[in-house]
Amino acid sequence: MKNGKWIFLLLAMMAALFIVLIGFSIGASSLTGVILSGIGVIAVFAIGFSQKKKMREKGLL
């Protein structure tokens, strides 16, 4: 795997973790946890898409 693609693996694992945390928060009836985990998923996806755009513009993808 190229060095630049490791960050995408890390971001995918973080997104999966936040999605699992949403499930745990729903099970624990924690609205705060659901909201924070949802914000975390959105933030990780936003970081990933912006990183992909930057790498595509530089010709690394």
Residue 13: which domain range? 8-53
Is residue 40 a part of any domain in this protein?
yes
Are 60 and 44 within 8 A, CB to CB? no
| pLDDT above 70: residue 1 | no
The average pLDDT across 25-39 equals 95
* Structure confidence at residue 59 (pLDDT): 82
Lowest mean pLDDT among 3-12, 29-38, 48-57: 3-12
pLDDT of residue 60: 78
61: in domain:
no
The answer to whether residue 2 sits within a structural domain is: no
Q: Taking residues 28-49, report their average pLDDT.
A: 95
DSSP string, 9-57: HHHHHHHHHHHHHHHHHHHTT-HHHHHHHHHHHHHHHHHHHHHHHHHHH
Count of the separate structural domains present in the chain = 1
10 is written with which tokens?
Answer: 């890390």
* Mean pLDDT computed over every residue of the chain: 91
3 is a domain residue:
no
Decide if 60 is inside a domain.
no
